[in-house]
Chain A
Amino acid sequence: MAYRSDESSLLIVVLDTNPVWWGQQLSKPNRDLTFTNCIEELLVFCNSHLMMDQRNKLCVIAAHPSKNKFLFPKSELADETASDDSEIMRQTKSDGQYELFAKVSETIREEVKDLIFSDTSGELHADCMLSGAMSMALCYINRVEKEQLNKESFSSRILVIKGSEDHQSQYMNFMMVIFTAQKQNTIIDACILDQESSLLQQACDITNGIYLKIPQLSGLLQYLLCVFLPDAKIRKKMTLPTNVKIDYRAACFCHRNLVDIGYVCSVCLSIYCSFTPICTTCHATFKIVDPRPIPKKKIKK
């Protein structure tokens, strides 16, 4: 039997559920992509991933402004309702959908509803807790790896679907997540719906992932299936979008602004946009070097 990969693949989807951005989509004139449609298309994509191989695994995390939540598999704290699960399955109409896919779809829909209804704080943020969600994803990958009974190898990748903008306060955490992913050989892909994100561009470049800004939002599912469905081994063999020019500027540690030229601490390599006598990260002191020439004392005769 030729040409079938013997490796299974774990896909983690991190979905940006910022209510502000999704609300703005509803008020757009042509309504290319509403939140409901996005969830449905995501479900088809997730089920397609599970369909590719019987051993493939899936995890979906929602990145909300105030918290992150596992949409699938259901978090274990919620397992009191495990007995209800079989009841739900009994009532599920038998319409030909494979049982596992039906379970995935139902669970994700229920959890999304739960997430939205439980957000009663009323605060509005323009971004979401993306670095937190990605850290949760990396922890989940680590756990699955440890729980593997028969030590089969599997590849893992994280797909980030993002619409809202970046916030520079997450820069540090994000960089640490990227380097961890690189060490773990996890691929980070980015599916950008609206605004370009330099952080995700860097993430995709370092981990050999694919960064794609969707040209036509109404065709989201087709882009997901064509570009993000192939796993690591197949990607080398297929023609997929290559990386764009990446903005590698670092952000300064004091204001989180992107700088081209700045000051670097010689001990811990933290970056500053202006001179500080003491490094805030490692508390190393710097000698103040005065650029003015010392005036020569005039000898009075």
Chain B
Amino acid sequence: MAAFVKSVNKKLACKDLLAYVKTLTPSVLEGLYNHPASCLAIFRELPDFAKHYVMRILFVEQVMVKQNVVATWIEKDYANEHLDAIKALTGLHIVHEHMQYCGLPAWKLNESFKKSLQIALMGGGNGANSLEMLPPDKYAKDIAFLDSYAQERWECILHYIVQSKEGSGGISREVTEILLHSGLVSKDGVNSDTFITAAGFQFLLLDISSQIWYFMIRYLETVESRGMNIVECLTFMFQLSFLTLGKDYSSDKMSDNQQRFLQHLREFGLVYQRKRKCQRFYPTRLAINLTSSTPKDIALETHKQGFIMVETNYRVYAYTDFQIWLLQALLEKVSALHLLRGSQLTRLSTS
């Protein structure tokens, strides 16, 4: 129990998009910047000053802008913020430093970033990487169906984290590997079942958008080891986050790596595909705006009514069918009727 308390004090650390992108190598970044969707996603996560600097030099023909000119763009009191913005831009290789002819240092915007951002803004790209629309789907699905599908898939994974003894129904080996890698579950021996860790508990208590993001970051960390191309996966992920909910898209032009990635996403509940061989897919609510760090309210389920009673003799009665797995994880089951669960809170059940 003491060990449990100690590890709970260490908060589950999750990188946001910028922190994650900074860990990528320059060649991967260069590959990413060739795609409008990635540039747009990264642009939105920059600090405010950085965004305005980029906008000011995005359409300027003159290639470089002197550093002391950029420094005059802001009031002197905010020099720290200015430095922070410049650090973010140079760290992500969006601007490079050059020495101008007159001896003064200047900034130059990364050419591929500039072109891709202009394409995202105005169009005019060659469409090689974009997802096409198809003629109307005779098996068209509406948003309510997509929501329930996404919820069912994601709860499947959460259920597995909590109670893996009940078998990995519907969970593939890859998901298990990711969960092991991220420390949310762990194993005693090689062939034994997995059980939840303290980090796993904290994960369960996060809101759903943070859960999805944490899980995707961990997944991306294992991409290279599976032999998949990280640039392609990231590009597809960024494209996915900018799609419209309720519309279907073609998976025709995607490469093999991206097709594999799509199948994984299908398992996590981020996209829906009627059949594996089907050429069209629907992004679900979990995938839209995935990479943005602004608070989103993904209310997958409508407001569900429920009651929980806690007695002083440590009995808990729950009259609901919502997130039962959380109760199962923390409490020892005493009785279970339709919709009514009686459980006991014991030292053993919480450790």
Contacts and interface: CB of A to CB of B under 8 A. Distances in A.
Contact of A96 (B58, B77, B123): B123
A44 B122 contact: yes
A150 B297 contact: yes
Given A98-B120, A239-B73, A234 B44 contact: no
Interface in A1-53: 1-6, 43-44, 47-48, 51-53
Interface residues of A, number: 40
Given A55-B294, A222-B60, A230-B52, A97 B47 contact: no
A1 B15 CA distance: 10
A112 interface: no
Nearest to A94: B130
Interface in B227-276: 242-244, 247
B127 A239 contact: no
Interface string A70-113: 00000000000000000001101111111101100100000000
A238 interface: yes
Given A95-B123, A98-B242, A239 B59 contact: no
A102 B116 CA distance: 15
Interface string B112-133: 0000100111111111011111
Given A44-B121, A44-B122, A239 B44 contact: no
Contacts of A238: 52, 73-75
Given A5-B48, A51-B43, 16 more contacts: A1-B18, A3-B49, A6-B294, A52-B51, A94-B133, A95-B130, A96-B36, A96-B125, A97-B122, A97-B123, A99-B242, A101-B123, A102-B123, A105-B123, A222-B56, A237-B74
Contact of B56 (A52, A225, A234): A225
Nearest to A8: B294
Contact of A4 (B43, B47, B60): B47
A189 to B, nearest CB: 16
Contact of B244 (A4, A99, A150): A99
Q: Top 3 nearest A-B pairs by Cβ distance?
A: A96-B125, A97-B123, A94-B130
A104 to B, nearest CB: 11
A51 B44 contact: yes
A47 B121 contact: yes
A5 B294 CA distance: 10
A97 B289 CA distance: 16
B72 interface: yes
B78 interface: yes
A264 interface: no
A148 interface: no
A289 interface: no
B121 A97 contact: yes
Contacts of A237: 49, 74-75, 77-78, 81
Nearest to B132: A94
B292 interface: yes
B133 A90 contact: yes
Contacts of A234: 48-49, 52
A6 B243 CA distance: 23
Contact of B121 (A4, A48, A53, A92): A48
Nearest to B85: A3
Contacts of B51: 52
Looking at B85, B133, B289, the one whose CB has the most chain A CB atoms below 10 A away is B133
Interface in A217-263: 221-222, 225-226, 229-230, 234, 236-239
B53 to A, nearest CB: 10
B172 interface: no
A95 B78 CA distance: 39
B152 interface: no
A37 B63 CA distance: 24
B84 A54 contact: no
Contact of B48 (A3, A93, A150): A3
Contacts of B84: 2-3
Nearest to A49: B55
Interface in A161-193: none
A301 to B, nearest CB: 86
A96 B120 contact: yes
Given A2-B47, A225-B56, A237-B78, A95 B72 contact: no
B121 A95 contact: no
Given A1-B16, A2-B47, A96 B119 contact: yes
Contacts of B116: 96
A93 B127 CA distance: 8
A263 B125 CA distance: 64
Nearest to B47: A3
B90 interface: no
A102 B123 CA distance: 8
Contact of B120 (A2, A5, A97, A226): A97
B50 to A, nearest CB: 9
Contacts of A221: 59
Given A51-B40, A225-B56, A234-B48, A97 B119 contact: yes
A13 B81 CA distance: 29
